[in-house]
Copies of this chain bind each other. A is one copy, B any other.
Amino acid sequence: MFTKIFDNINNKHPLVHCITNYVTVNDVANVLLACGASPIMADDVKEVEEITSLCTALNINIGTLNSRTINSMLKAGKKANELSHTIVLDPVGAGASSFRTNTTFDLLENIKFSVIRGNISEIKTVDKGSGTTQGVDANVSDAVTELNLDEVVAFSKRLSKRTGAIIVITGAIDIVANSEKAYIIRNGHSTMSKVTGTGCMLSAMIAAFVGANQEEPLLAATAAVCTMGLAGELAYKRIMEEDKGSSTLRTYIIDEISKMTAEKLKEGAKIEIK
């Protein structure tokens, strides 16, 4: 199922331009290398267009948003759109402050994203900024469970239709949806929430996976989500065996990503189509 996806990453070594937060930036760079891609971090408005032109994909993450880099995000995004590059938005904390929410809306208005990844409350904030008028989707609850899964899937498909982006909602259950089809992924382990940056790392990986597989973006994004989830499971198993804690879990998640193959993923992936 994922053989071609992995082959393309390993053959193309996609270069991913990241304008991202300073909290998890090192893990983001290392996870890109681990999965067969390469990172380049550059956020000054004087160089983002040139840098993004060298790349396959652009990953915009608003985790430690500041006034200086908003313009860089907009410029890089527009240039990447011109070049038909893959662009991922990770709207970290959208909804937590009007600054982040408004910036998210600005980015959505000016850039056509290939993928938007967040937790359910961030994606609901994205929904508010994507031109919905009925506001019905605001009823979607703030956690994805087996009980409201169908509702969230339908919401994701509608949002994908409106934005043109693949919607990735991560949590206990992960959803990867375009307007017509959704993959539901039940990999991962709850202890991953003890590690900062698994979301940021995943968004960067999605940029790499989709960037190297532009003809199969939905499956590529799904492969990235499964890889992160399965790596989390394997890492958790190992820290339990070795009586280790949350920082080793972080290390082992990236280790497992660096050792992931299409075969391992096929065996471990817990995917359903809706």
List chain A positions with a Cβ less than 8 A from chain B. Answer: 21-27, 29-30, 33-34, 39-44, 46-47, 50-51, 54, 63-68, 93, 96-100, 193-197, 244-248, 250-259
Contact = CB atoms under 8 A, between A and B. Distances in A.
Given A34-B245, A43-B64, A66-B68, 11 more contacts: A23-B39, A24-B26, A24-B29, A29-B196, A42-B64, A50-B97, A51-B96, A51-B97, A244-B252, A245-B258, A247-B253
Q: From A50, A195, A255, name the one whose CB has the most chain B CB atoms within 10 angstroms.
A: A255
Nearest to A33: B194
Contact of A196 (B33, B44, B196, B247): B33
A24 B196 CA distance: 13
Contacts of A47: 65, 97-100
A26 B256 contact: no
A65 B41 contact: no
Contact of A67 (B46, B99, B244): B46
A40 B93 contact: yes
A50 B98 contact: yes
Minimum-distance CB pairs A-B, first 7? A245-B255, A247-B254, A245-B258, A47-B99, A246-B258, A47-B97, A29-B196
Given A43-B66, A196-B30, A248 B244 contact: no
Q: From A25, A64, A193, A245, name the one whose CB has the most chain B CB atoms within 10 angstroms.
A: A245
Given A46-B99, A47-B100, A97-B51, A246 B34 contact: yes
6 contacts: A40-B96, A42-B97, A50-B98, A247-B251, A247-B252, A247-B254
A215 B39 CA distance: 38
A51 B101 CA distance: 12
B66 A33 contact: no
A117 to B, nearest CB: 19
A250 B68 CA distance: 31
Given A26-B27, A27-B26, A63-B41, A251 B248 contact: yes
